[in-house]
Amino acid sequence: MGTIAKIHDMLVSKQCSCAELTKSYLDEIEKANSELNAYVNITGDEALKTAQAVDKKIAGGEEIGLLEGVPMTLKDNMSTKGIETTCCSKILTGYKPIFDATVWEILKGQNAVMLGKTNMDEFAMGSSCENSYFGGAANPFNTNHVAGGSSGGVSSAVGGNIAAYGLGSDTGGSIRQPASFCGVVGLKPTYGSVSRYGLIAYASSLDQIGPITKSVEDASIVFDAISKQDKRDSTSKGNVGGETFSKLNNDIKGMKIGIAREYLDGVRDDVKEAVLAAAETYKSLGAEIVYFDLPVLKFALPVYYIIACAEASSNLGRYDGIRYGYKTEHYTGTHDMICRTRSEGFGEEVKRRILLGTYVLSAGYYDAYYKKAQDLRGTIISAFNKAFEQCDVILAPTVPMTAFEKGHAVSDPVETYLTDICTVPVNIAGLPGVSIPCGFNANGMPIGMQLIGKSFGEATILNAAYKYQQAAPEKFIDTKWGVKHKNKNILRLHHSVRR
Amino acid sequence: MVTREDVENIALLSKLFVPEDELDGLTKSMQEIIDFADAINNAPSGGEGFDNINNLSNVFREDEVVPSYPSEEILKNAPEQAEDHFLVRNRE
């Protein structure tokens, strides 16, 4: 049983009230957050208010939904009405949206208890969470290591058990990579299955919101809840592939699981071994492993950085110090005010990506970079379509390595970009991908693998992921504990919600 | 080849100031990223082109007037406002 269903059972059977549960999470956050830095804004009062409303329903004998009263978190790039939403950037400090992102509107409507907003690389640009204006989030397995990025805060919170689940966003791996680093499950849905309305844009043709959870069941429950068509996002189609939860336990005998050799190039040995061991597990479950080549993958990373930066340079044009957020104090005219506001408000990596995006879109370079990258995007999509003629699901490492030590990522931008090599192809092709834990390295740091599906094939990849979780439950976080908790009473309450 | 002048020019287009002492470092790191991006120019062109993801197409609707957010709510986030408008001063 996943964490969400366990909490639901606890609430319904009145083992504890929702207010008590929420209070215990908030107490845990207070103790663990100084070390993890997962939360950048804790919304305790709002959380307890929702919890009391849920308790009132339960006391009145009303039925409650599965997500009702479950303490969770949102990455700080999802708009929350009246609650500061900063994208972990100085330029958005103090910004309080006047509307809710569609995903939050849906979950709030189901009385989800939001504990707070979580840390991220500024504007979701980064792979370690260290580009956050508030400093990076730490890895719950070893706090000297990074949580990964950009949804580092959500992953750290879920991995450290200071949120039952959370929503992240994934533009080039920002859900799957930190999920892999923190030993949790992260689902990047098909482009268009979850509304992006209210998600502060990084690269609009790549961004997608998805769940970060402790178990595959939880990812399925949350995905089914949030994948709704939304007229406010013209690229949203809803859950075209149908609900996923009832299909989790389908037999995978005969399922063809493909491994593209290029995905294993340059991957560290411990990671490669863990992924190939998972392939053996799949064989024992009756699946067939098919090897094939996907040579175009070697162009995926530059294609990603060109397209993402081009779109970012346009999306981030809106930050001008006039309508919201930070504004410089001293200036000599309007142009000077805007330039100073942006130069003081954006961090180094964000500025670098805006400049790169402006460069590849400028006259003289547009054809050589942006247009060529868009052409290759079509080539990569065709290559994936061909691959899916040979297999149902593609198995690959999520990241070529495990979580690195803090401070390691900042020195060389190109080297840092290479950590995204296994995750970006999915965003380029708009496909769904889920990262699940598949082992630990010699230092006890989690290793993740991803299962990639056809467009709107979430049910298939979650089915394959669930079968693996059943076969190898020891790889999943419920049996591993990252942060030391000192208060025994709360530990007991938390233990009772774990497997 | 990315030059200092290129970086100064794109910084102007991006409405960003690059301090003089950061210009050389930034030019170098831009050059490294562009060298890395240049890999795509060795790629065989599949000629597929790209115009949409997952067969998404434009969504059309009638242009109907619907209620929006009250301007006083919107203006609460503005660093400066006056008389129901955003305030932009030409001098501080």
CATH code at A234?
3.90.1300.10
Give the SS3 label for residue A341: helix
Q: Is A320 within a domain?
A: no
Instruction: Say yes or no: A385 contacts chain B, CB-CB below 8 A.
Output: no
Helix (H, G, I), strand (E, B), or coil: what is residue A33? helix
Residue A466 belongs to domain spanning: 3-299+374-496
Q: Which of A349, A358, A386, A424 to mutate to test the interface with B (most CBs of B within 10 A)?
A: A358
Q: Which residues contact A385 (CB under 8 A, 6 or more apart)?
A: none
pTM to 2 decimal places: 0.95
> Is A305 touching B (CB cutoff 8 A)?
yes
Q: Is residue A349 part of a domain?
A: no
Structural domain contains residue A486? yes
- Asked if residue A270 belongs to a domain, the reply is yes
B22 to chain A nearest CA, in Å? Answer: 11
DSSP A299: G
In a domain, A123, yes or no: yes
**pLDDT tens over chain A, length 499 residues:** 889 999 999 999 999 999 999 999 999 999 999 999 999 999 999 999 999 999 999 999 999 999 999 999 999 999 999 999 999 999 999 999 999 999 999 999 999 999 999 999 999 999 999 999 999 999 999 999 999 999 999 999 999 999 999 999 999 999 999 999 999 999 999 999 999 999 999 999 999 999 999 999 999 999 999 999 999 999 999 999 999 999 999 999 999 999 999 999 889 999 999 999 999 999 999 999 999 999 999 999 999 999 999 999 999 999 999 999 999 999 999 999 999 999 999 999 999 999 999 999 998 899 999 999 999 999 999 999 999 999 999 999 999 999 999 988 656 667 777 789 999 999 999 999 999 999 999 999 999 999 999 999 999 999 999 999 999 999 987 533 333 343 333 333 344 333 3
CB contact at 8 A, A490 and A464: no
Q: Is residue A357 part of a domain?
A: no
* Complex ipTM: 0.94
Place of tokens 């340059």: A266
The structural domains of chain B, with segments of one domain joined by +, span 4-42
Position A204 in a domain: yes
Instruction: Name A131's Cβ contacts closer than 8 Å, sequence gap at least 6.
Output: A88, A121, A122, A125, A149, A150, A347, A348, A349, A350
- In angstroms, the CA A11 to CA A17 distance is 6
CA dist., res. A280 & res. A285, Å (int): 9
Q: How many domains does chain A have?
A: 1
Is the CB of B43 less than 8 angstroms away from the CB of A235?
no
List B residues 31-90 in contact with A (Cβ-Cβ < 8 A): 32-34, 36-41, 43, 45-50, 53-54, 56, 58-59, 61, 69, 73-74, 76-80, 86, 88-90
* Residue A354 in domain: no
